[in-house]
Structure formats: C-alpha cells, structure tokens
Structure 1
C-alpha cells in the first residue's frame, strides 16, 4: 500500500486569506493533522486544516523570536511504533517495529513506497547521499542504495553486517569481535575514514569498514546499554552515552583501527538517552572564536551541555536546559537551534544565543504538541526554498510519524504582522515575503 503525503498551499495571498486561527494567550493551538489516506486521491479543500499555529509567546521581559509551526502530515502505523528516522537530501525514511521502512520524496514530501526487511524491528537508521543504513531485530545491519525510478523508490541491498557467510568461516575466538549479542540501538558514520559505528545494549561499540564488509574494532564502551553515538566529523572523535549515566569521548589511534578513551563526562546519575553536537567554524562575534557544544538528554528530563575549550580540546560543563516533565529520548541540532523529544509527548525547540565575549545563553522558544505518546526519534533540516522554513520529522510510541514545518520570526516582524492581521495566525503571500527580503529584513531563520 502506498501512502501519499498531503501538503497544503501555505503561501496563499494575504488579501485572499479569510481563514485564521485564534491564538490563546498562553497555549499553542495545533490544527488537526493531515492524515495519509488509504487511497491516492487528494482530500477536498474543506478537509485541509488551517495552516499555521503560533507557539506560546515568551514572557514580556524577554525579546526572543517567535515560531509558527504546522503539522503537514501524520502517518499512523497500526502494526508497530515508529522507532527510527533518517533524512537525506532526497528522502525521508521512517523505521517501525514491523521491520518496514516507509519513504517520502523531498521537497514535495510525497510517498514513494517502502523497504521491507523481514528481520525484525528497525531500531536505528542513518542516511547519507544515496546510502541508507538500518539496524534490525536480528542484531545485524543492512546497507541500502536508494534512488528514484518511475516515481517509486528503488532500494537495493548492498550488504549485511555481519554476513551469514561469516558465521561459518570466522573462528569462534573472533566472534566477539564480529557480532553484537543484543539490540543495536544507535549508528554513526565517519565520512572521512568511511567507518560505520554501531552501539548496542550489549555495552559494546563496533567500527565497521564498509568497503571490506568486516568489523575492524570492538570495545566495551560502558557498564550499561549504549543508547546513542555520534561523530565529530572535524576531528573524528566518537561520543557515546549510556544507561550508566555517563558520556564518553573516544579517539581512534592514528594509523590504526583501535580506539582509546580520552574523557568521561558525568554530571548526573540518571541514564543518558540522547546526544547532539553543534559545531561552527566561528562564533558571531568579532573575535572569530570557534565554538563546539555537546548536548545530552537524560531520563530526569534535563539536557546537559558542554562547551569545548579551543586550547585544550576539553569539554567543560556549561549547565542544563530544564523544561521537559519526563525523560528526554532524542535530540537534534540545526545551526543554533536544539530540538528535543520527550516522554512527556512534546517537542521543545531551544535557541542558543551569544551575549558577548563568547558567552552563550539558552532559552526555550517553542513547545510543539501533537503526539499522544513519548517522542522516540527526531530528524530536522532547513529547507532549500529560501523561505526560512525548517522541516522536522518526529516518531512516537503512539504509533505515529509526523512531519512539521517551522518558521522563525523576528520580534519586529511579529509586531508588524499582528498590526496587519490582528491577533490571528497569518498566511504570508510570496510577493510580500520577497519584498521584505529585498528590504533587508532578516525575518526568517
């Protein structure tokens, strides 16, 4: 069965727009989501909800920017929860407990089919270019080559790690190196060295040479489950986090495949579930000092962050972000924004701002509501439409996958929009947007 993603025309003329959303003063209004129909026919205009919902305004004493957000689609999977999401420049992929990987084509966000691997749940995924890597319930990894063909996704399995053949030829003493013995919970890929990393609930991390279809290193990373893993593509450092409450930094030995532990970051006793890295060549100040922030989400609802020292390459604890009522399960960063998904069913958007002298503050600028279960996974990217939109995908344990479109407005533009439209949710015409851009107003993110 093919599911098509319905997308409303969000940029109709302001002069012709007659429908709007009344905005409560303290809560966000989320329009009913557009669901994937069972037939390829498009819904009637009357069935399309009003497009934008304004996020709750911050306290009057603050001068933060404002988000409007819109759920443009929602897919319900009655056969299992959504466990993983991968996003490339061309596609969005969502993996579920059923072992099925749904796919959508960007930028139209139209359903283009699915990948079905009869190997159990898809617990983690990673996408880069035309390569998609998925982890399955049999504790093995599949690597797919994906492309479009005749308006449908064409997926070709390139390899499986480890291969079935290796069960027969590998020596018993080497099996610990080649095979995970529990669920593979996370993936990361080193672009420069072409190494794929897998983290597992068996407490180990393995490095795979994809070109050789073999594991080149395996090490016990934590005392508990390895819940997340990521790579700093600038220096090759590997970050892992675990149910043992720690975040660890590993470095590959130069000229070898083995990895050594360089630093342990432990600021809380609660299990750490998610990691995200925010990198920039230079900060926005005139000193042009590079910055590097590491974020970790834990089961106590806090997001701790560390800033890397440029001189010693050490990570110093800078504080924590507090707002979620239950555990943080997933994190993703886009420029100076941090998005977090939680067991409390919400997605929070945080902004990091420089206040001078390379000092930064964090604030929550939006709370996105719409899921009815814990938000398990997130993916986000800026859209290439020059309209300031950001596309966010979320998977929840309520068996739904949602696609959101977000826009960030500067305070002065927010005031102007309210003066024109009143206390309603605006729909902006492309000509008006283009006029503001030509005037030099940086209203969009």
Structure 2
C-alpha cells in the first residue's frame, strides 16, 4: 500500500502530532477535559484481547504496521482492532455535563453549536472547543428539534410551536468581543394566520401541531420548513410569511424524522409504524403527494439521513432493531431500490448523519459507529466505534474540516447520560485497489456475516462490548420493548 500519493510518506499519526500542542492548549477552560490515550486504551482492552486470540491476516497486519503507534501522551487512538481499517483516528476533545437535563437536539451554524434540552435555555457553544458563548431563554422548554440555516435557528418547544431566532456567527462575536445574543423573529404558527381549505379536506389537523414537534427539515430553494410531529402529521411552512401552506397525515404513528433532497425537493419521512415515505410537491401548488413507501422490515424507524454526491443518492434509515437500511436512487426512474443494511449496533439506532461518503450512527447501545461507503458499490466499511458515553446516544451533529491530505470531522454527540461530547476524527482517503483487495481477503477469512448489500457482502466480526452503566443494562434487560422518545 503506497501512501506517497498523500504526501512524502507521512502517516496519519504524523498529522495528529503536529496539532497536539494546539489542541491541548485550546481545552484549558474549567469543566472541560480530554479523554487520555491511556483511558481510551483501557476502553479497547477487549479488542486487544480478541486480537491476541485470533491474529489478523498478514495483509491486514502489514497495513496496520504502516502507521506507527502514537506516543503514550497522545490523545489519538487507532480505530477498534476488530475493524479492518487503519485509515481513521479519533479522540474525544471535550466532555461536558450540564444541569439542564437530557439534551434532545443539536444544531451547527457558522462556528457555533446549539444544544436544546429539557430546560427552556438553548445554549450556544463555540466550535471546536465548546466554550459557552451564552444562551437563548425561551418561554418554554423541551426543545426536541433544532435546525440551523445561515443566521436563522429554528427550535421546537413543549407548546408544540416552532420559534425562529436570528443569531450572530462566531466570527462576529470574536470581532465585536460581545456576548452571544439572539433575537426571536417568528413563532409558527403565528396568531391569526389562515390555513388552506385543501389541507383541511385531506384530514389535516389545522395549523397547530397537536403533539410534540419531533423533527424539522428546510428546503433552501423553496424557503419551506417541514415539521414532523407525534400527532402523525407533517406540516409545511412558508418561512417568509410564517404561513402553514400544507399539512398532511403522513403516518399511522409518531413521525420521528424528516429530510429533504435539496436537488429536487423530495421529502422523506419515517415513523414508529415502521415505514419510510417519499413525498413530492404537486407541480404549481403547495400541496404534497405520496410517491413511494419503503418498508423493508416491521421495526420502528427512528432516524433518516440522505447522502448526496455528484454520482449517487443514498437514503439511510435507522431502526429499533439495530439495523441501518439503505436505498439507492435510480438515475433514470427516480425510484429508490433497497441496497442492503448495515449491522453492528446491538440496540436501537436513534440518530443518523450522512456527510460525504461517511455515515455516523448513534445507538441505544451507547456507541457511535462511523461507516464509509465504497465508491460505485454497496460495500460499507465500519471504520470506528466510539464508546465513551454511558447511556443511549440521542442526537448527533457533524461538521467537515477540510485539510490537505486528510479529511477531518468534528462530531457532536449528546446522550441520555446527560453528557455532551465533542470528537475530532481524521480519515485518510481510500488507498485504491491494493487496500480494497486486503479488505476483501480479510472479509473472506471471517466466519460471521455483517452487512448484506446486493452482490457485495461485508463479513465482519462485531465482538465489541460497549461500556454500559450497570443500571442501564439492568433496565434494558427488564424492558422487552425498545426505547422510544
């Protein structure tokens, strides 16, 4: 495996060592702490024992030898050894514990990270070190969903309304040396606004959601905000006027997630009823019509993510059975064909984020998995398992950090253990056919099947034991039903 194409034979660890001092110095504020390399190694003892029992194929061992181990003081660690990829490193750079209760939602916008929780305070943090910049005080709390677009932040609340806030960027705060400020610019629905007769005729329940607003998506070109609710409906809002322009009964149970394809305006929704549905706007109108229902297995669907590249469009859904199903869009017909599923999580998948060719999944089993799809195929590789949380991972947000030779990501995760963590991840580009051949050789030598996808099947061993709190394990064993909201 020739790495000269990424620089003068520099390894991924060498890039990490260069920023070690700057990373440690930026994390000096109180209540912030690093996850040391020693503690990470303790979390990975299980994988090391498995490696001693069953050594990997020589080709994989050779791949690992190309990246020397970090120094004992380094916070960086290789991905867990039960996965065949040496191309990813990660570490937890910040871990916070707040007294606001469980964090339900996370959003990223222009150098700021926003967290919504059970309280009525929406907190703002600076990227990437998560220094707190202030908070927004709303009339009521239980902020289940958040969405940031430009300088506008949308939040949903316990009163089943959505509020829109104008917020300043992180650079503006630094320039003016001012404290974070936000201004409320709208409440949806606004008082006295009208509602279309057409939507009433379709069985919609008026402008007001009757239950928790659990998810939101924004269609940039149309200026439309989509809100999904536990009242089984999806509502469509014209942001410029604050009017509800459409409302439809989307599912037979709680709507858990909604996403929009920014290329064509298609809307995807998922529900506890186990289905994923695809909706399109009627040409020349504001109403929406159902075009396709995706239902591969009878398990509640908790999360959706859309992966768009120049050559492909993939839809991912996370279910309570622990599987992540995915569909690929046909270029000619526009139909979505089921491509397979990703297997690895032990309990329900609660949140998903897709960025570039990577998929991040947070689970009830307390772990975050990082998956990479191979270009031009259905093959997905599990690059890493992040397992520092001690409760179910409820929400994720990811931002991209472009670098010259490696691709960097900042991952923000919130758990029911009431902690908020920030991870920095570095991923080397795919190394071509030599690496691919090594991965296929390793998969053929494994005895257990992992992902199934068309003609390409990933064969991996998922022997990882997450660090679960004893009280959570006891509760899970006593509860025969998967965790919902």
| TM-score where L is the length of structure 1 | 0.77
Q: Does the aligned pair in 2 maintain the 1:27–1:55 contact within 8 Å?
A: no
- 1:338 aligns with 359
Measured in 2, the distance between the counterparts of 1:107 and 1:76 equals: 17
Q: Report deviation, 1:51.
A: 2.1
What secondary structure is seen at the aligned counterpart in 2 of 1:394?
A: strand
Residue 261 of structure 1: how far off its partner (Å): 0.2
Shift of 1:267: 0.2
User: 1:99 aligned to 100, 120, 123, which one?
Assistant: 120
Q: How large is the RMSD of aligned CA atoms in angstroms?
A: 2.6
Q: Are 1:359 and 2:381 matched, yes or no?
A: no
SS at match of 2:240: helix
1:252 deviation in Å? 0.4
Q: CA deviation at 1:99?
A: 2.2
Structure 2 residue 420 is the aligned partner of structure 1 residue 401: yes
Residue aligning to 1:284: none
Q: 1:170 to 1:316 in 2, by over 3 A?
A: closer
Residue from 264, 268, 284 that aligns with 1:255: 284
> Is 1:65–1:408's contact at 8 Å kept on the other side of the alignment?
no
Alignment: residue pair count: 364
Paired residue secondary structure (1:351):
strand
Query: Alpha-carbon deviation of 1:105?
Result: 2.2
Which residue number in structure 1 is paired with residue 47 of structure 2? 27
Structure number having the greater strand percentage = 1
- Displacement of 1:150 in angstroms is 3.0
Q: Tell me how far 1:27 sits from its aligned partner.
A: 3.5
Whether 1:227 and 2:256 are equivalent positions in the alignment is yes
Determine helix, strand or coil for the equivalent of 2:298: coil
1:158 aligns with 2:185: yes
Residue 76 of structure 1 and its aligned partner are, at CA, apart by 1.1
Structure 1 residues 411 and 336: CA distance shift in structure 2, 3 A: closer
Instruction: Write the distance in 2 (CA, Å) between the matches of 1:349 and 1:107.
Output: 19
Query: Which SS does the other structure have where 2:264 is aligned?
Result: coil
1:116 matched to which residue of 2? 137
Q: By how many angstroms is 1:400 displaced?
A: 1.2
- CA distance in 1 between counterparts of 2:270 and 2:355 reads 21
- C-alpha spacing 1:160/1:405, structure 2 compared with 1 (3 Å): same
Partner of 1:389: 408
Whether the 8 Å CA contact 1:58–1:365 is kept in 2: the answer is no
TM (norm. structure 2) is 0.71
Kept in 2, the 8 Å contact 1:105–1:111? The answer is: yes
Show the 5 A alignment for 1:274-289.
Answer: 274-281=303-310
The C-alpha deviation readout for 1:216-238, integer Å capped at 9, x for no partner, is 00000000000000000000000
Alpha-carbon separation, structure 1, partners of 2:235 and 2:349? 25
Tell me the equivalent position of 1:136.
Answer: 157
**Residue pairs, 1:426-441, within 5 angstroms:** none
Name whichever of 236-245 and 80-89 sits farther off: 80-89
In the superposition, relative to structure 1, how do residues 411 and 228 fare at CA in structure 2: closer, same or farther (>3 Å)?
closer
1:3-402 to 2 correspondences below 5 Å: 10-12=19-21, 21=38, 23=41, 26-27=46-47, 50-58=74-82, 62=84, 64-107=85-128, 109-147=130-168, 148=173, 150-163=177-190, 165-166=191-192, 176-281=205-310, 290-354=311-375, 358-384=376-402, 386=404, 388-402=407-421
Residues 136, 184 of structure 1: 8 Å contact kept: yes
Mark the CA change 1:278 to 1:82 in structure 2 (over 3 Å): closer, same or farther: same
Specify the SS of the correspondent of 1:198.
Answer: strand
Q: From the superposition, tell whether residues 176 and 263 of structure 1 become closer, same or farther in structure 2 (CA, over 3 Å).
A: same
SS of residue matched to 2:248: strand
Higher relative contact order (CA 8 A, sep 6+): 1
Preserved contact between residue 84 and residue 95 of structure 1 (Cα < 8 Å): yes
Unaligned runs of 5+ in 2: 1-16, 23-35, 49-72, 432-485
Residue ranges of structure 1 left out of the alignment (5+ in a row): 1-7, 14-18, 29-48, 282-289, 413-445
Structure 1 residues 105-114 or 297-306, which shifts more? 105-114
Corresponding residue of 2:58: none
Judging by fraction of residues, say which structure has more helix. Answer: 2
Contact 2:20 2:74 survives alignment (8 Å): no
Could you tell me how far 1:69 is from its partner in structure 2?
A: 1.2
1:409/1:95 CA distance change after superposition, 3 Å: same
Rounded to whole Å, the distance in 1 between the matches of 2:286 and 2:342 is: 36
Quote the Cα distance in structure 1 between the aligned partners of 2:77 and 2:134. Answer: 30
CA separation in 1, counterparts of 2:90 and 2:37?
14
Deviation at 1:89, TM superposition (A): 2.5
Decide whether the 8 Å contact of 2:111 with 2:126 is kept in 1: yes
Measure, in 2, the Cα distance between the counterparts of 1:291 and 1:65: 26
Query: Could you say what secondary structure the match of 1:27 adopts?
Result: helix
Cα distance in 1 between the residues matched to 2:37 and 2:138:
44
How far has the Cα of 1:292 moved from its partner? 0.7
Q: Tell me, in whole angstroms, the C-alpha distance in 1 between the residues paired with 2:392 and 2:111.
A: 27
Question: Equivalents in 1 of 2:401, 2:136: separation in Å?
Answer: 25
